[in-house]
Amino acid sequence: MKKKLKIVMISGILIAIGWLSNLLNFDPLIFNTAMVAAAIVAGYQVAISAYNTLKMKVISINLLVTIAAVGAVIIGEYWEAAAVTFLFAFGSYLESRTVGKARDAIRDLMDLAPNLAAVIRDGEEKEIAAEEVEIEEVVIVRPGEKIPVDGTVIKGKSEVNQAAITGESIPVSKETGDEVFSGTINKNGYLEIKTERVGDDTTFGKIIELVEEAQEEKAPTQKLMERFSKYYTPGIILLALISYFISGSVRLSLTLLVIGCPGALVISTPISIVAGIGNGAKNGILIKGGEYLEKSGEIDMVAFDKTGTLSKGEAEVDQIITYNKDKAEVLRLAAAAEFNSEHHLARAIKKKAEKMLETEFNSPINFESQTGKGITAQIDGKEIMIGNSRLFNEQGIEIKPEIEEQKNILEEQGKTVVIVAENKQIIALISIADRPRENAYQIVEKLKQVGIKKVVMLTGDNKKIAESVASELKLDGYKAELLPEDKVKAVEEYQEEGYKVAMVGDGINDTPSLVTADIGIAMGAAGTDAAIDTADITLMADNLNKLPYAIGLSKAANRNIKQNVVFAVLIVFALLAGVLGQKVFLASGMLVHELSVLIVIFNAMRLLRYDIA
């Protein structure tokens, strides 16, 4: 049995014995002895920790309680001494249990961590600890088993439940070449996985670490509370002394000490934050700390990046128009040049090339990426350039009117068009269909429901496409043809207009604006560590619906914190009034105090059950 519970029970029994003897009209000495004993049992630890913190020159709540209890014994109020210490011990027992429950949200998550992995060593299958798998080693995962490492599927096909990472339990199909994550569950197929990361280095390991750190981080309100109680607690002692000199009543002074305990106030903010962050983690939403939870509760504008965020992550090559060049050759050069690019357009080009040409590509030389414009690289001694008009204008490469004309036609169909050049000669246009996500049209409405006033899009893509996406999705505005630094400026302008801006991007090439915004949110971040590092909030799933959830949760957490703080302050004032009006004494004061702490905790626990309507 837990020590805290034992203490509470023994002191409770002693109190019961005391009252029983009183009821049976035994010698009052028995009553008094039992009560003092109960106070010592319940108050011993409290006094010790009061002494320890006092050594560090901190006046703690424990000290207030200790003085009150000792004082009560001295003036002969044995029952009050027992009641105060018993209630305090009981309260802190319940508190640690419920706070523990809030933190369990994280423990539940940790339970999802894989323990064992099946690998082939010396030609034999062996079960080893998941952290001991080596990089590049192949692990075998059978149906129903947990995937023990981050890696790439090299054999087999299956459906995988990635809820541990993304918070979404709809299975995702995985086959050769696909990325899989530690902690996710292989549903129905046999998989062989080449290991890329193990243990703490996996995405899952990162999540656990981040959530643990986040819960330790203090929110501004919490810092304020702590500064406040540093002055408040000694202030209460002073008040008790003054009231003794004025009224001459020790009892009144001791009662002031007890009801002055700022317990509910001190716990009000951290408990809401732990619960809020815990709820987020379970739903694939990583909130970096209390500060960000509080800040995102104040967001009233959301700015989206387009490519990869509002539009589908799965862009597809639509048409390749060539100029005096073989189509397959264009595709080969383009895919090779884009080899090192993570951009969604680059991925689309590479995917198309792999499908059509069935070859592998090697890393090009002199690869250079110009964010928001395109790339240059050298393939087989040829200088390949792929990007938008801006890139070509800057390089002084003329785009002939007939090419411009064809580009316009494609763009009017809502396609993103990149120009491909070989040795500064334009050899092709590649149009890429980068459609808004299926659920994107509901997003504006959902964001408004959670209190967002304005939803806009900031994109590096051209105006025509931006216009068509913005009107299709009924956005409140858009800005197009922006370089990363222009996105920063756009965010700053909105901030100057008085908006609290959340910038949502894929975290790959919009880092500067994510940092500038009041809150930077990266989406679809599973597997991309850079995104997790820069964003304040990371949505692991590649799903827009998690965004209103994250904002709604933050707003709920903020409301929760406010409710708790207001309630705690009201209780302090009510108790103070009660004491001065001689209605509240030691035991009843402590009872109300502990009840208020529990009410604050239970209110915060509601956040664990938050779900968007």
Residues with catalytic roles: 305
**Amino acid (one-letter) located at 495:** Q
Strands in 310-424 per DSSP E = 316-322, 365-370, 374-379, 382-387, 416-422
DSSP 174-196: EETT-EE-TT-EE-SS-EEEEEE
CA dihedral 604, 605, 606, 610 (to 10 degrees): 100
Listed ranges 61-69, 188-196, 324-332, 383-391: which one lies at the site for ligand ADP (CB under 6 A)? 383-391
| 546 binds ligand ADP per the rule CB under 6 A | no
Question: Shortest CA distance to 431 belongs to which of 447, 445, 446, 414?
Answer: 414
- Residue 543 contacts residue 162 (beta carbons within 8 Å): no
Strand runs (DSSP E) across 28-92, as ranges? Answer: none
Shortest distance, CB of residue 389 to ligand ADP, whole angstroms? 8
Q: Tokens standing for 508?
A: 């790959």
CB of 388 to ligand ADP, least distance (A): 3
Please give the structure tokens belonging to residue 332.
Answer: 């080969």
CA distance 284 to 211: 11
How far apart are CB 505 and Mg ion at their closest, in Å?
6
- Beta-carbon count within 10 A of 420 CB: 26
How far apart CA 238 and CA 201 sit, in angstroms, is 52
- Residues numbered 392-431 forming contacts with ligand ADP, rule: CB under 6 A: 416, 418
Cβ atoms within 10 Å of 118's Cβ, excluding its own: 16
DSSP structure string for 364-388: PEEEEEETTTEEEEEETTEEEEEE-
Pick the stretch among 160-168, 269-277, 385-393, 437-445 that binds ligand ADP (CB under 6 A): 385-393
The answer to whether residue 306 forms part of the interface with ligand ADP (CB under 6 A) is yes
Q: Which is nearer to ligand ADP, 459 or 511 (CB)?
A: 459
Q: Which CB atom, from 134 or from 485, has the smaller least distance to ligand ADP?
A: 485
Which residue bears the tokens 């000669």? 425
Q: Which is nearer to Mg ion, 215 or 513 (CB)?
A: 513
CA 11 – CA 42 distance, rounded (Å): 6
Binding mask 282-311 for Mg ion (x = CB under 5 A): -----------------------x-xx---
Q: Is residue 186 involved in binding ligand ADP (CB under 6 A)?
A: no
- Do the beta carbons of residue 127 and residue 118 sit within 8 Å? yes
From the list 85-93, 300-308, 312-320, 356-364, the region that binds ligand ADP by CB under 6 A is 300-308
Given ligand ADP, Mg ion, none, residue 341, with its beta carbon under 5 to 8 Å by kind, binds ligand ADP
Selection from ligand ADP, Mg ion, none that 221 binds (CB < 5 to 8 A by kind) is none
Using CB distances below 5 to 8 A depending on partner kind, what does residue 253 bind out of ligand ADP, Mg ion, none? none
For the bound state, the minimum distance from the C-beta of residue 460 to Mg ion, rounded and expressed in Å, comes to 7
Using CB under 6 A, pick the residue from 36, 87, 386, 535 that binds ligand ADP. Answer: 386
- Is the Cβ of residue 255 or residue 341 nearer to ligand ADP in the bound state? 341
Applying CB under 6 A, does 272 fall inside the site for ligand ADP? no
* Identity of the residue, 261 or 421, whose beta carbon is nearer to ligand ADP in the bound complex: 421
> Mask of contacts with ligand ADP, 505-534, x by CB under 6 A?
----x-------------------------
Q: Tell me phi and psi for residue 174, to 5 degrees.
A: -130, 135
Segment 455-484, which members bind ligand ADP (CB under 6 A)? Answer: 459-461
CA pair distance 507, 99, nearest whole angstrom:
34
Residues in touch with ligand ADP (CB under 6 A) = 305-308, 338, 341, 343, 345-346, 372-375, 386-388, 416, 418, 459-461, 509
Query: Residue numbers of the site for Mg ion (CB under 5 A)?
Result: 305, 307-308
